[in-house]
Structure 1
Amino acid sequence: MKKVLATIATVALVLGMFTGLVGAAQKEDKGMGGMFMGTVQQIGQDSLTMKMAFTEFMTAKVILSPDCKYLDLTNPPEEGKEPPALTKADIKAGDKIVCKGKITKEEDKDAVFTAMVVSKVKEFPKPRPPQDDKGDRKPEIMGLFVSATDTAFTMKAPDSEKTGTFNYNEKTKFVRIVEKDGKKERQNITIKDIKPGDKLVVVAVPLKDKEGDDKERVMTAVIVTVVDKFPELPPPGEGRREERRPTAIGSVKSFDGKNLIVELWKNKNIKTAGFTVDEKTKVLYFPKQDGDKRPEPVEKKLEDLKPGQKVMVDFRPNEDTKPEDGVIAGLAIRIVLIDEFPPEVAMGEIVEISASSVTINARIDRENTEKVTIQITSDTKFVIMKKGDKPQEAKLSDFAKGDKVAVDYRDGKALVIKKVMVPEKK
């Protein structure tokens, strides 16, 4: 099954430590805005994995919206100018990024963060300090108390052996939630009242060392709350304990009411995969975005899974499944009906270009390229991208052999051809 997962795009979000946003998203079915920043570890077709900023023991998998925008903020643009646009291919492992998007939470499932904008940055922006107990809750980090010194304490992640250390000072507030006469109350305590194994919910912000900006930022606790149990923890086998929640993209081949067979899209090794459904399997449809207004998901039924329908299947894999065509890969958790597959991207130098097609030496990886010919139609758009300038509309005659380009295409037809202008080194 591991080989199956390696050939199917993984789309999942692990925000196991940020229950504040999880709870807020659950209360608001339409989702809520969110921003996360970190260092890219891996980037795939529809998702990326990053290590969260300012901490050594949290990672997150972020879904990339098909309409996600990529921006270059490594050098702030001049006032009134838009930041240079990038493509997904410009985001590499080790890059520092800021993701802005939408958090949604469905019943009995993990919170899902979908990035609408991914910005590449030189340094992480300093976040605003969270408010304390005035109702404006910020991201919270959960863990089990391990030990403390006069200036810092260490806690362990709830479901792993990873640990993190947080500073505290005279402004840090320590409280314990206790139940009295059927009501929960907050009692002020000190760090000395916290025992090893106590469950903590921590609100923290990164602060510079007093010696100057050349020092690393450290996480400083603003509020530390001792609780009897962690909020919003899913039951065993459901949710954040499953770090992998892959997604298969393809077209419905058949559905008999219990088993869904999908012809996988852009998968060279395995052509089809099967998924079982149960009473909890959800079917949704996301309409195309109209202008700046984000579409809301529409609930559908299993009966809408007709042959030929394009789908994205979020599933829980069967670990014992062999990597063969048509096998049952797992249980479908959510099935999203889509109108079209996301566009592909080819990047490289133009080998040949005419009014009807463009051929480029497309990069496969850092060492290898292959020639790819893509059709140019009357709907193909041309754009010139120059660092520090706003992307400019162009025409076919502005492109020539040797130009570095990024081509967004679908079904062999170019949607957008972007020339990347790299400033000459002085």
Structure 2
Amino acid sequence: MDSSAPIPIVAIVGRPNVGKSTLFNRYAGWRRALVADSPGLTRDRIAEELEIQGRAIRLVDTAGLDAAAERGLPAAVQAQAESAVRDADAILFVVDGKAGLLPEDEAIAQTLRRTRKPLSLLVNKIDNPRHHEDRLLDFYSLGFERLKGISAEHGGGAFDALEDLVDALPQHNDDAIPTDPAIPRIALVGRPNVGKSSLMNRLLGEERVVVSDEAGTTRDAIDIQFEYEGESYVLVDTAGMRRPGRREGTGERVGALMAVRALERAQVALVVVDAEEGLTDQDAHVARLARDMGVSVVIVANKRDRLDGEQRKLALEDVQHGLRFLEDAPIVSLSALTGAGLSRLLPAIRRVTEASLRRVPTAELNRWLADAIRRHDPGMARKGNRTTPLKFLYASQVGVQPPRFVIFCTDPDSVMVSYRRYLENRLRDSFGFEGCPLRVHLRGRRTPVE
């Protein structure tokens, strides 16, 4: 068993409409986009790994999984602040300088004062520091040491504020993440009220399951190891589904920070969706997060007991279409309430775990590469007015979980995105990389290897 240190998490918190998403996008360097041909269903990211002054961090938009918080439901907004205090390593507290200090800001500040973690108060919408400096004055009363005026829309002051906060992070994180490739570590993730807790209880309540609690190594995470038909599994961060008070008033609260914490300790994500209700934006957020964080994915279409045969078929088609960027992930239709379909879940988990650990011998990989090029020509490389044929030279696998490959070619910059996708799909189909992300890197080499 080896271990690795988690990347520090920086959480963006604040009441609705203060510019949190704009700030997140400013840092991440991209604009959010809709899934092609699917109006209303986004593939927005809620977490992004960044490098700030040579240090990796994971930036999280805490409202990304909680529509109630962005509608301004007070308890939901407070839950986001409490999640930041509990689960983040550092906090960016965003307020609206144009609107001024509001009671909702003061309530969030009261929660955030309980933490000793690095925190910066960012007064947004300071588009012209010379003329808007007076907008900062009211916010000094909140008593936070780091206070900066920024413009999330135009970027003014935003990166200086993030760099200052990262500088305040401890240099070493001693919360090692235990990993044993032979035992799948499973995170149950999904938007609120899709049945994650019920699924956990169903899994652990099966007669053939042997359960043992295992204290986690990070914060209040609790891992549960169990055996099913002679195979061992671990559910990670089950405390996130059993914390007291989370079912009061505003319903189940599994936020973005909790999902990130669970996924960084897992090898497999069970992305749970409500088959009866149908797919939502939040489901797509969770699925994208799991894929971006490099874990294998099994999609769980829960609540099949509430649907008849034809409705189940239509529900599965809806899930397949909405999450088609995860078309390689197996979908298991089940009922956490009755246990119907559960027998197919653990074999699917075992399959995607084995796929993520698969190594392809170099000789076999290069025979595959030659065949892939023969089937689909990579095209031409253009240098000014000159064009030359693109040549792919050789390939090597450099890692697992997720499987990582390096392919050497004469001009990586000239390889079209569609051809990169073709190579990835051919790899997946040829070697059975079911449910796991593939990382394919192209590197340049001037002359072909004879």
- Report the TM-score when normalising by structure 2: 0.32
Give the structure with the larger strand fraction: 1
- Report the TM-score when normalising by structure 1: 0.33
